[in-house]
Amino acid sequence: MAAGLSEEMIVINNWDEVPAFAGEDEEADFWDTHTLADHRWSKKRGHRPGSLAERLARQRQKTGA
């Protein structure tokens, strides 16, 4: 399917629905027809320790900004 424009994408609601892939080609074929549900795109883990985003967040907390 070219860019998924003409067909509906299969929505993945749970990570258990994503199979183990034998290689990158197999994974690419899967994601050509599947997409993550909106709630799966949210980032709930916070910033990666030591990242610029994490350091800026700590700095903002200290200064109250």
Task: Render pLDDT for 1-60 as a digit per residue (tens, 0 to 9).
Answer: 445 444 789 999 988 999 999 999 999 999 999 998 887 776 666 666 677 877 788 888
26 to 5, 16, 32, 34: CA distances (angstroms): 20, 17, 10, 12
**Residue 9 DSSP class:** P
Structure tokens at 39: 């709630």
What pLDDT does residue 1 have? Answer: 44
What pLDDT does residue 19 have? Answer: 94
What pLDDT does residue 43 have? Answer: 60
Helix H or strand E encompassing 11:
strand 10-12
What pLDDT does residue 4 have? Answer: 45
What pLDDT does residue 52 have? Answer: 80
Nearest alpha carbon to residue 34 among 7, 12, 2, 5: 12
